[in-house]
Amino acid sequence: MGVMMIIKVKDLDINYIQYGEGSDIVLLHGWGQNIKMMEPIGEKLASKFKVTILDLPGHGNSSEPKEALTIYDFCEILKEFLDKLKIDNPIIIGHSFGGRIAIIYASHYDTEKLILLGAPCVRKKEKLGLKIKTLKQLKKIPVLNKFEEFAKKHIGSRDYRNANPIMRQILVNTVNEDLSDCARKIKCPTLLIWGEYDNEAPVEDAKILEKLIDDSGLIIYPNGSHYTYLEFLNPVCKVIKTFIE
């Protein structure tokens, strides 16, 4: 659906796709991924909304940054990208890394509604005990792993294998950033969608995030992983439609 296009933002070529008509929905993918990871949601929403999906800098067919950006830099790139496309007050759906960018965006700029899919936000100092970690791993359902492998092999393999030193530093910058203060500033209605066994963004963090964002609600899918939105695509999209309509 739609045709891939390129727009110049802060000396970077940003690859994106647009389709549908109506209120603007912007989809932000996770680290090491690209537009294709968010298209399953985009295609479900395009009958009633105008969908925009972009390859974030250093991902897919967008340019790699020439310096180690922070997560806040990614937010500013997103803002300029949306300004150039005349997209104001969007509904934003962000998965993982894209959700982190969305948290910052919604805390700084007009956002109609926010949907976060397994978006790590809180950075706690203490580490989980070995026993808890082991229990978490034992609880993981083997069938879920295929989605993580699907993502790594078919979508983001080039990014995973060939991440250059700058992209690796960006990842380090991102992982170490606590976004609790940004989450507290979010005023728009926010929906949190999580998998019970998300090993990238634990459910415990989702519950903290729900408390930090005033107007928010959390839905936890039993047996879901970090890719819950793909594993439960139809029910997740129904919930999203209900929330944004």
The per-residue pLDDT for range 168-188, each reduced to its tens digit, is 888 888 888 899 999 999 999
Residue whose C-alpha is closest to residue 178's, from 230, 106, 104, 243:
104
Say yes or no to pLDDT of 144 above 90. Answer: no
User: Which residues span the domain enclosing 168?
Assistant: 5-233
Sort strands 91-95 and 23-28 into parallel, antiparallel or unpaired.
parallel
Q: How many domains does the chain have?
A: 1
Measured distance CA(95)–CA(133) in Å, rounded = 23
Residue 209: partners with Cβ closer than 8 Å, 6 or more residues away = 116, 119, 121, 122, 183, 192, 216, 218
Mean pLDDT of 1-13: 91
Query: In this structure, is residue 71 part of a structural domain?
Result: yes
The pair of three-digit structure tokens given for residue 158, joined into one six-digit string: 């080039």
Question: Which of 58-67, 80-89, 110-119, 167-176 shows the lowest per-residue confidence on average (mean pLDDT)?
Answer: 167-176
Residue 244 lies in a domain: no
Six-digit token pair at 126?
A: 């203490």
Please state whether beta strands 216-221 and 190-195 pair in parallel, antiparallel, or not at all (unpaired): parallel
DSSP secondary structure string for all residues of 34-95 = -HHHHHHHHHHHTTTEEEEEEPPTTSTTSPPPSS---HHHHHHHHHHHHHHTT--S-EEEEE
Residue 241 lies in a domain: no
238 within some domain: no
Burial (CB < 10 A; 0-12, 13-18, 19+), residue 213, is buried
Confidence of residue 147 (pLDDT cuts 50, 70, 90): low
**CATH label of the domain that carries residue 118:** 3.40.50.1820
- Enclosing H/E stretch for 220: strand 216-221
CA distance 19 to 35: 13
The pLDDT value given to residue 104: 98
Q: Would the CA dihedral through 125, 126, 130, 132 be positive or negative?
A: negative
Please check whether residue 123 lies inside any domain of the structure.
Answer: yes
Most confident range, picked from 125-134, 159-168, 176-185:
176-185
Would 120 be classed as within a structural domain?
yes
pLDDT classification of 135: cutoffs 50, 70, 90: very low
pLDDT of 145 strictly over 80:
no
What pLDDT, on a 0 to 100 scale, did the predictor assign at position 175? 82
Instruction: Report whether 91 contacts 83 (CB < 8 A).
Output: no
pTM: 0.86
Q: With respect to residue 242, please indicate whether it lies within any of the assigned structural domains.
A: no
- Our CA dihedral for 209, 210, 212, 216, rounded to 10 degrees, sits at 130
Amino acid in the structure at residue 14: I
Residue 37 lies in a domain: yes
